[in-house]
């Protein structure tokens, strides 16, 4: 059994260690090898926390618009800025992020690519997903807290195999460790959750085909496996026929619904010191 440790430092400079038990899978083993390679070479650890609620939205929106202003100051397209953010506006901004991704070679050829702007667009994508989670806290009693991390510069990847698809999970669970999506665009489950039909129209749904050392530590509420699949099927049925034919509904491997699971949190004395009934953590 292999165990990995995640160390957090809080605002009081106190360290907190969480331990994860990796599942005995080829996917987890290959992910671990990429992690060790990045650590051995001293790559920089980058993190993105989802630990905000809708009450923080004014502050987040202000920061969001400052980032867009920086992008607009050097980019040949003008990204919109909003006083208030909602799902449709976020979908429009995500389309701009996808468009930027398709233009990278063009920008290189025109000698207008800059690493600074590239990092700004990556931050824009992170902020879009942060706001999506923040907006959901208006109606959810338990926020979708999580932490995503990766190593930069990101150089090493491995392909997703058919065998790996056995470890796809369409429902997220508290305390589980998942592979980072590491793909420019949205997958089918995300498209359904956002009801982003325009992405389907443009044939821009992007299923994950490779992975890096990126990982996602989930502390959001447990989702229901059957409910998520039923919801996807109802969404598919609601599409007009010209969009239904674009959905590989009869090919589970092509759909790739969900996220790839790597392991699970170990409930040790650290957690039991807060609540001593181990069965309640399950």
Segment 111-133, tens digit of pLDDT? 888 888 988 888 898 888 888 87
Mean pLDDT per block of 10 residues along the chain (282 residues) reads: 90 91 97 96 87 82 91 92 86 88 85 87 85 79 80 91 95 94 88 90 92 93 91 95 95 94 93 83 75
Which H or E element spans position 198? helix 197-201
* Segments of 73-144 assigned E as strands: none
CA distance 222 to 32: 25
Which pLDDT score, from 0 to 100, does residue 53 have? 78
Note the maximum CA span of the chain.
61
The answer to whether 23 and 9 have CB atoms below 8 angstroms apart is no
pLDDT of 212? 95
Q: What is the pLDDT of residues 235-281, one digit of tens each?
A: 999 999 999 999 999 999 999 999 999 999 999 888 888 888 887 77
Which H or E element spans position 96?
Answer: helix 87-102
Cα 49 from Cα 148, distance rounded (Å):
6
The pLDDT value recorded for residue 141 is 63
């Amino acid at each position: 059994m292999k165990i990995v440790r995640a160390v957090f430092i809080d605002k009081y400079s106190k360290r907190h260690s969480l331990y994860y038990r990796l599942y005995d899978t080829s996917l987890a083993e290959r992910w671990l090898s990429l992690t060790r390679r990045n650590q051995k070479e001293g790559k920089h650890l980058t993190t993105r926390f989802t630990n905000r609620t809708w009450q923080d939205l004014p502050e987040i929106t202000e920061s969001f618009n400052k980032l867009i202003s920086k992008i607009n100051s050097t980019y040949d397209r003008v990204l919109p800025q909003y006083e208030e953010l909602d799902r449709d506006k976020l979908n429009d901004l995500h389309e701009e992020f996808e468009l930027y991704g398709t233009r990278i070679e063009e920008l290189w050829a025109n000698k207008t690519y800059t690493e600074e702007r590239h990092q700004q667009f990556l931050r824009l994508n992170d902020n879009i997903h942060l706001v999506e989670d923040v907006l959901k806290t208006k109606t959810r009693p338990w926020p979708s807290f999580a932490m995503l991390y990766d190593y930069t510069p990101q150089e090493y990847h491995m392909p997703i195999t058919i065998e790996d698809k056995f470890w796809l999970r369409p429902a997220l669970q508290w305390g589980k460790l998942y592979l980072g999506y590491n793909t420019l665009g949205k997958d089918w489950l995300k498209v359904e959750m956002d009801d982003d039909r325009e992405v389907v129209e443009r044939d821009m749904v992007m299923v994950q085909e490779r992975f890096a050392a990126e990982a996602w530590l989930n502390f959001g509420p447990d989702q229901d496996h059957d409910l998520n699949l039923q919801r996807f099927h109802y969404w598919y049925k609601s599409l007009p026929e010209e969009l239904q034919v674009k959905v590989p509904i009869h090919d589970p491997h092509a759909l790739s619904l969900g996220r790839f699971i790597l392991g699970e949190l170990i409930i040790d004395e650290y957690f039991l010191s807060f609540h001593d009934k181990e069965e309640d953590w399950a």
